[in-house]
Amino acid sequence: MKPLESTIGRMPLSLPVAAPVKAPVATHCPYCALQCGMNVAAGADAGTGTVAITPRQDIPANAGGLCQKGWTAGELLTGGARLTTPLLHGEPVGWDEALDFVADRIRALQAEHGPDGVAVFGGGGLTNEKAYLLGKFARVALRTSQIDYNGRFCMSSAAAASNRAFGMDRGLPFPITDLAAADAVLLAGGNMAETMPPFVRHLTAMRDRGGRLIVIDPRLTATARLADLHLQPTPGTDLALALGLLHLVVAEGRVDEDYVAARTNGFAAVATSVAAWWPERVERITGVPVAQMRLAVEILADASRAAILTGRGAEQHAKGTDTVTAFINLALALGLPGRPGSGYGCVTGQGNGQGGREHGQKADQLPGYRKIDDPAARAHVARVWGIDPDEIPGPGRSAYELLDALGTAGGPRALLLFGSNPVVSAPRSGHVTERLKGLDLLVVSDLVMSETAALADVVLPTTQWAEEEGTMTNLEGRVLLRRRAVAAPEGVRSDLEVLRGLAVRLAGPDADGSRGAAGFPTDPREVFEELRRASAGGTADYAGITYERIAAETGVFWPCPAEDHPGTPRPFLDGFATPDGRARFVPVEHRPPGEDVDADYPLYLTTGRVLAHYQSGAQTRRIAALNAVVSETFVEIHPDLAERLEVSPGQRLRVVSRRGETEGAARVNPAIRADTVFMPFHWIGANVLTNPELDPVSRMPEFKVCAVRVERVG
Q: Are residues 634 and 531 in the same domain?
A: no
Q: Given this model, what pLDDT does residue 78 score?
A: 84
**Count helices and strands in the chain by DSSP H and E runs:** 25, 30
Residue 18 lies in a domain: no
Q: Given this model, what pLDDT does residue 331 score?
A: 98
Q: Are residues 147 and 161 in the same domain?
A: no
> CA gyration radius for the chain?
24
Domain boundary among 17, 47, 78: 78
Domain boundary among 524, 557, 590: 557
* Helix ranges restricted to H, 11-94: 68-71, 75-78
Give the long-range contacts of residues 57-61, CB within 8 A, separation 24 or more: 58/26, 58/554, 59/28, 59/35, 59/480, 59/554, 59/555, 60/175, 60/176, 60/177, 61/34, 61/35, 61/36, 61/37, 61/176, 61/198, 61/199, 61/474, 61/475, 61/476, 61/478
Q: Given this model, what pLDDT does residue 442 score?
A: 98
The CA distances from residue 618 to 76, 324, 336, in Å, are 11, 30, 39
Domain boundary among 347, 367, 397: 347
Q: Omega into 639 within 30° of 0, i.e. cis?
A: no
Asked if residues 20 and 467 have their Cβ atoms less than 8 Å apart, the reply is no
The CATH number covering residue 501 comes to 3.40.50.740
Q: Given this model, what pLDDT does residue 3 score?
A: 35
d(CA 46, CA 31) in angstroms, rounded, equals 27
Q: Rounded to 5 degrees, what are φ and ψ at 557?
A: -85, 135
DSSP structure class, residue 163: H
Q: Given this model, what pLDDT does residue 510 score?
A: 60
Q: Are residues 649 and 700 in the same domain?
A: yes
What residues pair up with 306 in beta bridges, in sequence order? 184
Asked if residues 188 and 309 have their Cβ atoms less than 8 Å apart, the reply is yes
Residue 568 lies in a domain: no
Q: Given this model, what pLDDT does residue 495 score?
A: 98
Name the residue range of residue 315's domain. Answer: 156-347
pLDDT digits (tens, 9 = 90+) for 265-318: 999 999 999 999 999 999 999 999 999 999 999 999 999 999 999 999 999 999
- What is the model's pTM? 0.94
Q: Given this model, what pLDDT does residue 254 score?
A: 98
Q: Given this model, what pLDDT does residue 1 score?
A: 42
- Which residues of the chain are modeled with pLDDT < 70? 1-22, 43-49, 509-513
Q: Given this model, what pLDDT does residue 557 score?
A: 98
| Count of structural domains within the chain | 4
Q: Are residues 358 and 319 in the same domain?
A: no
Q: Given this model, what pLDDT does residue 13 score?
A: 33
Q: Given this model, what pLDDT does residue 104 score?
A: 98
Q: Are residues 96 and 110 in the same domain?
A: yes
d(CA 94, CA 92) in angstroms, rounded, equals 7
Q: Are residues 543 and 673 in the same domain?
A: no
